[in-house]
């Protein structure tokens, strides 16, 4: 069987090679610096060298407020500065609760600078517009990103939760490529395969960073997931001698756009175990069986 799951690292422009699993910090709200350092080191040891943060992380998921997770990471890096050299550091800006979105030049510039301060770093490797501000012209967003890049505050740019037309509009005003786009993508959320997001990534050489690849954990627990999809995941899990979460993660990795799956677990053992997904063998029959089980109808 020729597996569609490609576990080779991919290159993010000037940032070099990153693993196909990245470490997402949405739930990184533990203020015990030693414990937080241990979790980060576990992710880096597992090959998750792309670490994905955002200024709004900490506003929910048990956090205490806007900017908290960046501050926690800053505390960890202050205690163990060598960890910075092991990671490709990503963060996001453009959400300002309760507004909700602001990518105006003054705000986006200040948001990036505040992120740098909270994390205690000189540069953000991959800076992403978290959600599109529909009331800022993409030319203005592009001009701000260009300015931040020229000033050495960011290295590469990406977007998150952008439609294909929003990506195209922003790219039209940039003299350098958008490197990443973060859509929600999982075995139970196939929209990026249908709405052109992953097609555009392949067209433009953009790396998809799939958030919630386990559908918020429901593909592992089975909560709210159709019996048909769970049965298919379990069938493949038994064949591959793994669990259904490994199959669900491998399904994301199998797409030819070479998605990077964002791992959100804060459990050291679970982080290490997740890596088994990159060695799962899935062929074309397997992935189409998952698609049909997810959508509940046979493909034409």
Spatial distance between the Cα atoms of 179 and 273, rounded to a whole number of angstroms: 28
Tell the residue number behind the tokens 């470490």, with chain if given: 23
Asked if 89 and 124 count as a contact pair (C-beta separation under 8 A), the reply is yes
Nearest alpha carbon to residue 22 among 259, 281, 282: 259
Spatial distance between the Cα atoms of 136 and 96, rounded to a whole number of angstroms: 14
Phi, psi of 163 (to 5 degrees): -75, 170
Spatial distance between the Cα atoms of 258 and 231, rounded to a whole number of angstroms: 26
Of residues 28, 57, 101, 127, which has the active-site annotation?
57
Q: Is 57 tagged catalytic? A: yes
Asked if 58 and 67 count as a contact pair (C-beta separation under 8 A), the reply is yes
CB atoms within 10 A of CB 191: 13
Residue 125 tokens, joined? 């490797």
Contacts of 18 (CB under 8 A, 6+ apart): 9, 10, 11, 12, 49, 50, 88, 260
Residue positions annotated with a catalytic role = 57
């Amino acid at each position: 069987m020729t597996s569609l799951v490609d576990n080779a690292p991919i290159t993010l422009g000037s940032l070099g090679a990153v693993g196909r699993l990245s470490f997402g910090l949405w739930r990184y709200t533990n203020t015990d610096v030693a414990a937080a350092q241990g979790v980060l080191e576990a992710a880096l040891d597992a090959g998750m060298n792309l670490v994905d943060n955002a200024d709004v992380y900490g506003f929910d998921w048990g956090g205490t407020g806007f900017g908290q997770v960046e501050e926690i990471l800053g505390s960890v890096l202050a205690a163990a500065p060598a960890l910075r050299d092991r990671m490709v550091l990503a963060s996001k800006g453009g959400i300002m609760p309760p507004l909700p979105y602001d990518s105006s030049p003054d705000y986006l510039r200040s948001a990036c600078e505040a992120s740098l301060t909270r994390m205690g770093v000189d540069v953000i490797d991959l800076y992403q517009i978290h959600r599109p501000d529909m009331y800022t012209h993409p030319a203005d967003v592009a001009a701000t990103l260009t300015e931040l890049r020229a000033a050495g505050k960011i290295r590469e740019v990406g977007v998150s939760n952008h439609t294909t037309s929003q990506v195209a509009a922003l790219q039209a005003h940039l003299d350098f490529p958008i490197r990443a786009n973060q859509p929600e993508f999982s075995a139970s959320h196939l929209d990026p395969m249908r709405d052109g997001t992953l097609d555009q990534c392949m067209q433009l050489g953009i790396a998809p960073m799939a958030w919630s690849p386990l559908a918020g954990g429901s593909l592992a627990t089975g909560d709210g997931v159709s019996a048909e999809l769970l049965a298919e995941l379990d069938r493949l899990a038994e064949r591959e001698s793994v669990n259904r979460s490994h199959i669900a993660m491998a399904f994301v990795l199998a797409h030819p756009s070479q998605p990077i799956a964002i791992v959100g677990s804060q459990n050291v053992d679970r982080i290490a175990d997740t890596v088994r997904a990159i060695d799962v063998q899935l062929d074309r029959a397997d992935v189409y069986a998952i698609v049909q089980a997810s959508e509940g109808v046979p493909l034409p």
